[in-house]
Chains A and B, each alone.
Chain A
Amino acid sequence: MDLKPEEHPKGSFILVLIFFAIFMGMYLLNWKQLSEIWHVG
């Protein structure tokens, strides 16, 4: 699909980056929580 410069999906790109930041934050927080429980293996 041909897009003029003002038709590029910049808004969706920003939305998806916000999504990604939240995803990374929750993911890392879970590893931190995991590192605080009893050792098991």
Chain B
Amino acid sequence: MSITPVPYGWWKTPMHAEEKWWVSIALVWCIAITIAMPAWHFVGKQNSSQEYYTISVEDFNTLTEDFIEKYKSGTTGPVGDNQDEWDIVTPPPGSDIFLRSMQWRWDPVLKLKAGETYRLHLSSIDVLHGLSIHPLNMNFEAVPGWDYVLTITPTKAGDYRIICNEFCGADHHGMIGQIIVE
């Protein structure tokens, strides 16, 4: 039994047919799903980026402020019950765009063009935050001290939300931003 000691020599016991089949099937499957990951880097369009830099939170903050000033196209006006406002930024296609996360805001509101590619710089200036583009359910981590560059191409127009999905303190659930794709 499984709870009693086993006499020596168990290593030489041959496997039964069902066991041989199942272990073989499982092994082939494991190799296949391992290969799938590097393969998707060649055939797929959705991969987590390999471009990242360390950056101080002050520098990232300055870069975001400069970016907002450069491409600002308006403001949202008071939003919801809280009456907070956001800058709306319309960057040209192909440009470097910055998304700053902090307790408990995403700045700025980005206005992007469908089918165009942007270099999205994602970081946080305080604690960890989670970027979840809703309702696409695309999720990336915003880490203070790291500039994470995601080369994104919004494929469909729409009014998207950014939900923070890494716990970041008292009003974590209220940390919601916006991306508009035209």
Binds A, one of B17-25, B59-67, B101-109: B17-25
> Do B151 and A40 touch across chains, with their CB atoms under 8 A apart?
yes
Give chain B nearest CB distance to A9 CB in angstroms.
6
Q: Which of B21, B25, B48, B138 contacts A38 (CB 8 A)?
A: B138
> Do A41 and B18 touch across chains, with their CB atoms under 8 A apart?
no
Size of the chain B interface, CB-CB below 8 angstroms: 29
> Do A10 and B18 touch across chains, with their CB atoms under 8 A apart?
yes
> Do A34 and B29 touch across chains, with their CB atoms under 8 A apart?
no
Residue B137, interface by CB 8 Å:
yes
Complex Cα distance A9/B16, Å?
A: 9
Q: Which of B22, B45, B48, B138 contacts A13 (CB 8 A)?
A: B22
A1-B13, A20-B25 as given contacts; A37 in contact with B18, CB under 8 Å: no
28 contacts between A and B (CB under 8 A): A3-B16, A8-B16, A8-B18, A9-B16, A10-B18, A12-B18, A13-B18, A13-B21, A13-B22, A20-B29, A24-B29, A31-B36, A31-B40, A35-B44, A35-B45, A38-B133, A38-B138, A39-B45, A39-B152, A39-B153, A39-B155, A40-B46, A40-B49, A40-B138, A40-B151, A40-B153, A41-B45, A41-B47
Interface, chain B (partner A; CB < 8 A) = 13, 16-18, 21-22, 25, 29, 33, 36, 40, 44-49, 117, 133, 136-138, 150-156
